[in-house]
């Protein structure tokens, strides 16, 4: 079976042109990755034809795959180089990890829901993403053994920036994380250098909750 038929290639091209380039994302590596990764394989069969629409989609377990534009914007904000090691908190469908894996050297991704972790891991194998390392745990504590990272991307909304993640960032490292309340957040970019930490607000967004020791407490 052709996993990437022409129909989806066309939808993907339209997605990149109309939703992503049109809104100002210009990093060539990000655009190339968004043109390449078969997003329709990261959602359930019933939703495949909607995979390239301008919206998030449910992936089960009350979680979502982010809107394509948000994925592109966050990836561009990470300013990835080909030799970068990236930490992602919130594997979900695995789509964001795959986009980063097209650009960076290696992606370490953590998921707290076992079924999603398993599903993403199988998909990474099937699509030959050998540079994605998966882990099933609470990602709010980061991944100390593999730190420090060049970039950290948190794809769930946090009440505040977990300090432990800032510690696991290299000097010169970049982090993007949605910060706010349970209903809406600001997409915050953080850069760590010799002088300290600088944050900029990239604008409003809406993510599912980051649940864990340094995130929202369950219930």
Rounded-to-integer distance, Cα 130 and Cα 106, Å: 9
Closer to ligand SAH by Cβ: residue 173 or 212: 212
Rounded-to-integer distance, Cα 76 and Cα 74, Å: 5
Closest approach, Cβ 213 to ligand SAH, in A, equals 8
Strands (E), 18-56: none
Cα 153 to chain centroid, rounded: 6
Q: Which of 217, 98, 115 minimizes the C-alpha distance to 155?
A: 98
| Strand partners of residue 151 | 86, 174
Rounded-to-integer distance, Cα 15 and Cα 174, Å: 26
DSSP state of 215: S
| Marked catalytic residue, from 26, 66, 137, 184 | 66
Here's the x/- map for ligand SAH, 88-107, by CB under 6 A: it reads as: -xx-xx-xx-----------
Question: Considering the rule CB under 6 A, would residue 139 count as an interface residue with ligand SAH?
Answer: yes
Max Cα–Cα distance, the chain, nearest Å = 53
3-62: contacts with ligand SAH (CB under 6 A): none
Closest approach, Cβ 155 to ligand SAH, in A, equals 4
Please indicate whether residue 66 is annotated as part of the active site.
yes
Closest approach, Cβ 171 to ligand SAH, in A, equals 25
Here's the x/- map for ligand SAH, 105-124, by CB under 6 A: it reads as: -----xxxx--x--------
SS3 206: coil
The CB-nearest residue to ligand SAH is 92
Among 19, 63, 75, 76, binds ligand SAH (CB under 6 A): 63
Q: Which of 145, 11, 157 minimizes the C-alpha distance to 74?
A: 157
How many residues make contact with ligand SAH (CB under 6 A)? 25
Catalog residues that contact ligand SAH under the rule CB under 6 A. 63-66, 89-90, 92-93, 95-96, 110-113, 116, 138-140, 155-156, 208, 210-212, 215
């Amino acid at each position: 079976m052709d996993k990437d038929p022409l129909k989806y290639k066309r939808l993907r091209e339209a997605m990149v042109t109309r939703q992503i380039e049109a809104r100002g994302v210009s990093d060539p590596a990000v655009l190339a990755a968004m043109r390449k990764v078969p997003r329709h394989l990261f959602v359930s069969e019933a939703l495949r034809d909607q995979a390239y629409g301008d919206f998030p989609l449910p992936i089960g377990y009350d979680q979502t795959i982010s809107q394509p534009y948000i994925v592109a914007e966050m990836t561009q904000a990470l300013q990835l180089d080909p030799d970068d090691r990236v930490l992602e908190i919130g594997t979900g469908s695995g789509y964001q990890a795959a986009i980063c894996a097209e650009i960076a050297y290696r992606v370490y991704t953590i998921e707290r829901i076992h079924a999603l972790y398993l599903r993403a891991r199988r998909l990474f194998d099937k699509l030959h993403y050998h540079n994605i390392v998966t882990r099933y745990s609470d990602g709010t504590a980061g991944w100390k053994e593999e730190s420090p990272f060049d970039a950290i991307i948190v794809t769930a909304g946090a009440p505040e920036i977990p300090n432990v993640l800032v510690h696991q960032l290299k000097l010169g490292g970049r982090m993007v994380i949605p910060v706010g309340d349970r209903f809406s957040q600001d997409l915050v970019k953080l850069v760590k250098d010799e002088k300290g930490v600088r944050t900029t607000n990239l604008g409003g967004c809406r993510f599912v909750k980051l649940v864990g020791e340094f995130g929202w407490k369950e219930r």
